[in-house]
Structure 1
Amino acid sequence: MEEEHSQDYLFKIVLVGDSAVGKSNLLARFARDEFYASSKSTIGLNFKLKKLVIDGKEIKAQIWDTAGQERFRAVTAAYYRGAVGALVVYDITRRPTFENVSRWLSELNSHSDMNVVTILVGNKTDLKESREVSTEEGKALAELESLFFMETSALESHNVVAAFETVVKEIYDILRRKVLQSQENKKENLSLGNAKTLALEGGKSNTVEEAGRMGNCCAY
């Protein structure tokens, strides 16, 4: 049987936000199409891999959950290191979780070693009768901070896949634009045979595949 050749892109994506906003269930729904009604706060290291195909390319999203550290404000720099995407999650039924979004964005920006594609996610739309944060407020904050925005329900599987795919597709599009720029830049002689090349800071270059693996794709 003919071996199928696929390019292996690996993008690290982090989930951040207050405890009990539904981060772990968003991840479970996206990665395994599961939901845990009585789930407790995540304890210990937790990340999952999910394969997606975008423009015929195989993408591996390595998605990290905060492992309960957010309860103690102990999310470390190592958690963010190498991340090229982020979902900042709040609970639409608990206004304080929305008010804390700015703190999570500040922490993300402080600890990340590159610009991170970020989507603001208002979770638990299935609890409409208990809503404390309007859709308009979420959109306004996202526009103010130049973020993508989406409301989701991990319980009903509403917009969960779309939220993650929005981030992954934008990361890939940035990577693709980097490749096109490097190909058009005739001043930089970075040709590596027939491999596509990507110009990085510091005078280094990597194939597009290596850049995706190393998380350097989005230093734009």
Structure 2
Amino acid sequence: MAGITWHYVLKFIITGDAGVGKSSLLIRLTDQRFLANPDPTLGVEFGSKLIEIPEEGKVIKLQCPSPSPFPSDTSITRSYYRGAAGCLLVYDVTSRKSFKNAQSWLADVREHADPHLTCILVGNKIDLCNEEGEGSSNRQREVSTDEADEWARKEGLLFLEASAKSGSNVDLAFEKASCDILHKINRGVFDDNRSPGVKLSNPTNGSVALNQASNKQGCCS
């Protein structure tokens, strides 16, 4: 689908405890590769990717600043959250502490970000506790799928589990959240092209190629 243009640009942020794999998820999304120990000072450069939402007939350009390495700096926190339409709230399924701390991260998102922002809870590192895992890489799962799903429903969040290492469900997390944002645009919740995290776009150079998502599951049903 070379030469395709996009309909919307959506800004996403990725938040959660240090070590849960935020930067690894971003690198997996944009570069389709796994970086075991990404530099925590990646900065605030934007990663981007085009995804197709067939159910909506739309092509979306995702823009994601690298997760901020300065979570205690209020001014940077506000700048990072400002204008986001979507958020990945990430925890490590082998770390109950990171799951519990997700409550505080969600509170920060709701304090600083757009009140209409779509947030998806992502349980990362499922590869570490899969039965088919290899040797010493196996870890004990500390957060069950049902527990996380119940909390997400209670808080009005989308939810899935993923692995930045294998790539499982990484694209799907962004697709599900993007689909929810499109539904909000259609309902008038987001004032398209006037909400900071949602921008209409119509490139004229025709040189943009759509990077097809590896996961073909429907996300808007």
CA 1:114/1:92 → structure 2, altered by over 3 Å: closer, same or farther?
Answer: same
Query: Which protein has the bigger helix share?
Result: 1
- 2-side partners of 1:104 and 1:155: how far apart? 23
Q: Contact 1:84/1:114 (CA < 8 Å) preserved in 2?
A: no
Q: CA deviation at 1:6?
A: 4.1
Residue pair 1:91, 1:124 contacting (<8 A) in 2 also:
yes
Mapping 1:20-59, distance limit 5 Å: 20-54=19-53, 55-59=56-60
Provide the residue aligned with 1:116 in structure 2: 117
Counting aligned pairs with the same residue, the percent is 39
Structure number, greater radius of gyration:
1
1:5–1:67 distance in 2 versus 1, CA, 3 Å: closer
For residue 140 of structure 1, report the CA deviation from its aligned partner. 1.5
Deviations 1:70-100 (A, max 9, x none): 3x46551111111111000001111111110
Which position in structure 2 is the counterpart of 1:150? 160
Secondary structure at the aligned position of 1:131 is classed as coil
Check if 1:215 corresponds to 2:168. Answer: no
Give unmatched runs, 5+ long, in structure 2. Answer: 130-138, 200-221
Aligned to 1:13: 12
Between the aligned partners of 2:111 and 2:21, the Cα distance in structure 1 is 24
Matched, 1:139 2:149: yes
Q: What stretches of structure 1 move > 3 A for 4+ residues in a row?
A: 4-8, 72-75
Structure 1 pair 130/41, CA: closer, same or farther in 2 (3 Å)? farther
1:85 matched to 2:95: no
How many residues get paired?
185
**Aligned partners of 2:33 and 2:27: how far apart in 1?**
5
Question: Is 1:159 the counterpart of 2:146 in the alignment?
Answer: no
2:97 and 2:41 map into 1 onto residues whose CA distance is 20
Structure 1 residue 168 corresponds to structure 2 residue 150: no
* C-alpha contact 1:16 1:87 (8 A) present in aligned 2: yes
Please tell me whether the aligned partners of residues 80 and 112 of structure 1 are also in contact (alpha carbons under 8 angstroms).
Answer: yes
Change (3 A) 1:73 1:139: farther
2: CA distance, partners of 1:178 / 1:59: 18
1:204 is matched with: none
Offset, 1:152: 0.6
Give the superposed CA RMSD. Answer: 2.3
What is the alpha-carbon distance in structure 1 between the residues aligned to residue 104 and residue 198 of structure 2?
25
Unaligned runs of 5+ in 1: 180-197, 201-207
